[in-house]
Amino acid sequence: MLVADDYEAMSGAAAELVAGQLREKPDSVFLVPTGTTPLGMYRRLAAMHREEGVSFARATFFNLDEYLGLPADHPASYHAYMEENFYSRVDVDTARVHVPRGAAPEPEAECERYEAAIRDAGGADLCVLGIGRNGHIGFNEPGAPLSSRTRVVRLSESTREVNAVDFEGGLAPESAITVGMTTILESRTALLLASGANKAAAVAAAIDGKVSEAVPASALRRHGRATFIIERVAAWRLTRNTGV
Ligand code: F6R
């Protein structure tokens, strides 16, 4: 676990880790998050591309989740977020960029297709994650089975309220497509980022608490090759060094 002094330090360390993965294996497969936490990491990666020639052209990207029912061109969709904050700013091969299709006519079939695409790509080399205030990773909310694969899930009311800022007049959608816990845990390496004081309780539960399905992020402690990069203000409730 690394406690970063501030948001910029967290973002820089995360970007270095992603760039290191690419140096080691240019055709790496990544699972990637949206949200406010990774914005700085994406900004750094875009700068590394512009200024240092870091290339993403041979890499494959799978986003962790998307709201159910939202078309790709909806401004609050994770398609739109990724395009704006990362994919349009680097040299990704669009054929190797994947986001679950939230508006797919048959969501269950879309989940199966998505899971198969990750499998066919050889699984993820690095899974980058944020953490919800309730300990969720991807949209695997508290109680998500460790055995879960890509599927349609109902979002908790608290998640919908937190994410409401992205939606005009009201809550976020009721449901989403998310990559499952097993899919995440099968990634060869994982990186969880946490920023902001409002994540301190979730970070403490994930790192100091019991490993349990009630706190999905805690499962990463059983992974073996998971790194936690926590901004200092999100780390203040940690009471012991669990060696993660
Ligand atoms: C989003 C995702 C979520 C977020 C989490 C934290 O793709 O997978 O698990 O990482 O909700 O979101 P922020 O970073 O906005 O606090």
Residue 24 Cα, ligand 1 centroid: separation in angstroms?
27
Chain centroid to CA 168: how far? 24
Residue 65 Cα, ligand 1 centroid: separation in angstroms?
9
**Residue nearest to ligand 1 atom 13, measured at CA:** 35
* Tokens of residue 25, six digits: 């294996």
- The tens-digit pLDDT sequence of the chain (244 residues) is 999 999 999 999 999 999 999 999 999 999 999 999 999 999 999 999 999 999 999 999 999 999 999 999 999 999 999 999 999 999 999 999 999 999 999 999 999 999 999 999 999 999 999 999 999 999 999 999 999 999 999 999 999 999 999 998 888 999 999 999 999 999 999 999 999 999 999 999 999 999 999 999 999 999 999 999 999 999 999 986 554 5
Reference 217, options 88, 133, 118, 131; nearest CA is 131
Most informative mutation of 34, 134, 163 for ligand 1 (most atoms within 8 A of CB): 34
pTM of the model as a whole: 0.97
Domain boundaries, the chain: 2-234
List beta partners, residue 63.
32
Angle at 166 between CA 127 and CA 74, to 5 degrees: 85
Q: Which fold has domain 2-234?
A: Rossmann fold (3.40.50)
Residue 129 Cα, ligand 1 centroid: separation in angstroms?
7
